[in-house]
Structure 1
């Protein structure tokens, strides 16, 4: 295995390149989130129930989890420029297929294809972490994640408004055009990177599983994100059903407005990155888990209805967004410090777990809403975040003491030191 020399291309990690990579993360990830806002429009357009239309969201997230596991490890094996542009071109084709689908099964398959190949952020973030100086790794990761957050949240505003004006197909087709432009830009400016391994593809896949088994800090980070991201996905998926239903009887643009409020969370991730660099990931995780529990309680004010209820929903979703995304910064800083030569494979293991949790959260959110209404969704958010906090509290038990020895052996990076239980 060749230890990839990120030191060679590191001067190319300029502020302009970081900005473009941040935009790329946002545009790419938006393709799996904007269906959350237009699922009621899809239901009307394809003459299915809203609960059935929500399967489009679940398929996109399942496809994303599969893409992370199957494709992201190639970030250690192939040059980033060719890999990223190829994936984006396939994503563009999938969006066109989705935008022209005439039945729900075809739309679900197209959504899964889009999710499978739009994993570009999970390739670019480890790449940028490898090009950044160790003392800036958390800040750079936080900056790219702020773009990713903007894509997640603004995607709902984009699709909610565009879908209301021109129908549910318009967001898919406009997104396809944006992805094509992004592909051309990245093909021109991505630095020439050197693969860090020449392992065969099957070995790359098993390496991700092996890392998950042998790296306790990777497992712990993944467990945190599975639970908090499940809470996040449950809330957003059910929110579209709630505010377009009898309680508020609003259109899809209202979902976009709430998402626009939540987009303010993109400014929190660079702060979380700097705090992670200074204080370590555990301190940030603690605050984020408490924040997610508080968000679930705040979302209960949505039961009040009217402008007060909408304000409560906006504040609760903003707090939940900040908690989930800031925790992501802390988790990835911990994970990327473990083995610099295997960052893509580490990220594969971590993000596959995270998006399996997100997919489960979307499914659970719809079930909780159908069975118990909005109170059930809020209770589910608090339960999942509470389980994450409990896992975090138990990290100091004696059984966890081998973790620092396993982490400090592969790398003496400063990010991993404060993360030791």
Structure 2
């Protein structure tokens, strides 16, 4: 049933491959601003004369800001023309990055990180927009392609910022990121279609809608829990790994963190495969494989505490597996929620990604404190625990009776998906 004050718009007009690739590039550049501080937090600690766990708050602040931005700004993707909204957010992101680059102390840097995280939500506006511009049978594949670009941004952000920060100092990545945001604005100004908003709700009602959707849609709650739990473990591992490899076990520099991140390139190829699997078999089987993979990754990374070649190999293999599991699981989760209420995809994505990044922020905070008290073995146990919680929820989920209309599963009577019946994404002019 459409939400109040929403309007029905024509069926999706489609995206050609070049526009899809341009949007994937935009997702990568946009999300990089949340992740590149992970590789340079030791450099920040040294330059600003603060402890390592205090500098790690910059990472937590960026993720927390991202969650806030998703909640407050992403719903506008259903209310405002996409191109204008995206370009405005990119301008604000550039200002935040420049403020961070010139910060004289940790409090200013943390505040700038929150602001930058809040406005760099471009990928979370692009993904539901694109889902409304393609037929239902291509939605998983397109979502997987966009997430592949997003993953590339995460990987290159860590690698690039680690190497550049080691060479020119921690401020250099912020300055380069600001320049890249300008380039991204130029790209999006050319490739984003002119769209008609799918909702006329007032802003207050619009940002309250994700909470109502969480209450109304069991499948949305389930997807949110899956991603929040797995992403908490993922964030705990990536925030703590900077402390591990620059500490006594390895004595390596910040650029090594970026090189470790490169192994996650495998997930760039995994997400399109996961998307096609979701299109063929549905999201639940993909979720199951990914959760088991995350539990296995926790066991693989545990020997990283040993140091040396054995420990480093364990870190490389385990972090690759964790990356693939987390990102492929996200393809399944987003495909599930985008089929629920096509006229409210930005609001659905708001609820989903807010929960995910709240989980990530909590995971980053817990990861640093777990590492301080229990070392890398404790972090590995934390990753296993969060993944096991998601797996237990998945195995114990209540299935909708076949003889009823399983609204939560996104199906209408007669076997047609609700996405096929109500597929009314943003109109393109």
Do the structures match in fold with TM over 0.5? yes
Once the 2 structures are TM-superposed, how far is the Cα of residue 150 of structure 1 from its aligned partner? Answer: 0.9
Residue 92 (structure 2) aligns with: 90
Q: How does 1:3-402 map to 2 (within 5 A)?
A: 3-5=7-9, 7=11, 10-11=13-14, 13-396=15-398
Tell me, yes or no, if the aligned pair for 2:37 and 2:59 is still in contact at 8 Å.
yes
1:254: how far off? 0.6
Closer/same/farther in 2, CA of residues 269 and 415 from structure 1, 3 Å limit: farther
Q: Is the 8 A contact 2:72 2:207 kept in 1?
A: yes
Q: Deviations over 1:322-368 (max 9, x none)?
A: 00000000000000000100000000000000000000000010011
Instruction: Kindly state the Cα deviation for residue 188 of structure 1 after the two structures are TM-superposed.
Output: 2.2
Task: Give 2:425's aligned residue.
Answer: none
Q: Secondary structure at the match of 1:408?
A: coil
Tell me the CA shift for residue 316 of structure 1.
0.4
> TM-score, normalised on structure 2?
0.93
Following superposition, the deviation at residue 5 of structure 1 comes to: 2.8
Say whether the 8 Å CA contact 1:6–1:193 is kept in structure 2: no
Q: Distance in 2 between matches of 1:345 and 1:297?
A: 36
CA deviation profile, 1:124-167 (whole Å, cap 9, x unmatched): 00000000111000000000000111111221001000000000
* Shift in Å, 1:398: 7.9
C-alpha distance in 2 between matches for 1:238 and 1:137 = 35
Counterpart of 1:419 in structure 2 is none
Provide the alpha-carbon RMSD of the alignment: 2.0
Task: Tell me how far apart the structure 2 counterparts of residues 322 and 221 of structure 1 sit (CA, whole Å).
Answer: 17
Report the TM-score, using the length of structure 1 for normalisation: 0.95
Structure 1 residue 413 and structure 2 residue 421: aligned? no
Count the aligned residue pairs. 415
What do residues 78-100 of structure 1 show as CA deviations (whole Å, max 9, x unaligned)?
A: 00000000001100110000011
Q: Secondary structure at the match of 1:85?
A: helix
Query: Moved runs in structure 1, 4+ residues, more than 3 A?
Result: 1-4, 396-403, 405-412
SS at match of 2:132: helix
Question: In 2, Cα distance between the equivalents of 1:75 and 1:124?
Answer: 9
CA contact (8 A) 2:66 2:117 kept: yes
- Judge conservation of contact 2:22–2:191 (CA < 8 Å) in 1: no
> Could you say if the C-alpha distance between residues 300 and 403 of structure 1 is closer, same or farther in structure 2, counting changes exceeding 3 Å?
farther
User: Is residue 216–residue 403 contact of structure 1 (8 Å, CA) maintained in 2?
Assistant: no
Q: Unaligned regions of 5+ residues in structure 2, if any?
A: 421-429
Question: Given the superposition, is the C-alpha separation of residues 177 and 339 from structure 1 closer, same or farther in structure 2, using an over 3 Å criterion?
Answer: same
1:32 Cα deviation after fit: 0.7
2:424 match: none
Query: Matched residue of 2:397: which SS?
Result: helix
What is the DSSP-based 3-state SS (H/G/I as helix, E as strand, rest coil) of the residue aligned with 2:323? Answer: helix
Q: Is the 8 A contact 1:333 1:415 kept in 2?
A: no
Which structure 1 segments of 5+ residues have no match? 417-421
For residue 415 of structure 1, report the CA deviation from its aligned partner. Answer: 7.3
SS at match of 1:94: helix
Does the CA contact (< 8 Å) of 2:405 and 2:412 recur in 1?
Answer: no
- CA shift at 1:119, angstroms? 0.3
